[in-house]
C-alpha cells in the first residue's frame, strides 16, 4: 500500500528571523512513517521543521510553511492509498512578511494574521476510496470538537490527544471511529500508537 504521512509543525515567518509556530516535535508522524515502512508499505513523509533524522526506507519531503506543506501534500496525495495526518499545521500566518528584521519601536505592535489553507479538509474532500486518519489536539470540549472534526474532514479515524503529548515520549489518547471509541492508550509510546494505526491500513 502507498501511504502518505504528515508530521511536525509549520513555521510562518514574520520577518527574516521571527516566526509563528508550535511545540510539535514530529515524533508521532515519524513513528507512523517508520511503522508503515516496517510493515512493507511504500511511504512518503511530508514534515515541517523538526530535529529528527529521516526514517529508513521512507521518502521524506521537508517543508517549512503551511503553504509549502499544502503543495507537497497535494502533489503526493493523488498517488497514495492511505494517509495519516499528524502534522500540527499553523492555522494563521502573517498577512505580510517584513523584509529583513523587524525593528523594535516604542509602543505596541499589531500583527495582522490571515488563515492558512486547511490541508486536512482538502484531503477529506478529495479522499475517494483512500483511508484517512487525522489527529486532534483539544483542551476544551475535547470529544465534541474531535468528533466534529472527524465529520467535517471526512475521516476514517481520529486520534484525540492533549497538549502534554507535544514533545513527550509517551501519550494518553483515544481513537474514534463512527462516533465511538475504538481504542484507548494510556502511557503508551508513540511507536506503540503508530503500530496500532498502521495495523488499520488495509
Catalytic residue among 22, 145, 154, 161: 22
Backbone torsions φ then ψ of 190, nearest 5 degrees: -65, -30
* Chain position carrying cell 508499505: 41
Angstrom distance (rounded) from CA 170 to CA 62 = 25
Report residue 29 CA to chain centroid gap: 7
Query: Which residues fall within 8 angstroms of residue 103, CB to CB, at 6 or more apart?
Result: none
Active-site annotation holds for 154: no
Residues with a known catalytic role: 22
Amino acid at each position: 500500500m502507498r501511504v502518505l504521512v504528515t508530521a511536525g509543525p509549520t513555521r510562518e515567518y514574520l520577518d527574516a528571523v521571527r516566526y509563528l509556530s508550535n511545540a510539535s516535535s514530529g515524533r508521532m508522524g515519524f513513528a507512523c512513517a517508520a511503522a508503515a515502512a516496517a510493515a512493507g508499505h511504500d511511504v512518503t513523509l511530508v514534515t515541517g521543521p523538526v530535529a529528527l533524522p529521516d526514517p529508513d526506507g521512507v521518502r521524506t519531503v521537508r517543508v517549512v510553511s503551511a503553504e509549502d506543506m499544502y503543495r507537497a501534500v497535494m502533489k503526493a496525495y493523488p498517488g497514495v492509498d492511505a494517509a495519516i495526518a499528524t502534522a500540527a499545521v499553523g492555522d494563521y500566518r502573517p498577512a505580510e512578511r517584513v523584509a529583513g528584521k523587524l525593528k523594535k519601536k516604542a509602543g505596541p505592535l499589531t500583527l495582522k494574521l490571515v488563515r492558512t489553507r486547511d490541508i486536512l479538509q482538502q484531503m477529506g474532500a478529495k479522499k475517494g476510496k483512500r483511508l484517512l486518519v487525522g489527529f486532534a489536539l483539544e483542551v476544551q470540549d475535547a470529544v465534541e470538537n474531535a468528533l466534529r472534526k472527524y465529520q467535517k474532514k471526512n475521516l476514517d479515524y481520529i486520534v484525540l490527544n492533549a497538549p502534554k503529548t507535544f514533545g513527550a515520549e509517551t501519550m494518553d489518547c483515544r481513537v474514534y471511529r463512527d462516533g465511538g471509541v475504538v481504542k484507548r492508550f494510556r502511557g503508551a509510546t508513540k511507536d506503540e500508537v503508530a503500530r496500532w494505526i498502521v495495523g488499520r491500513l488495509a
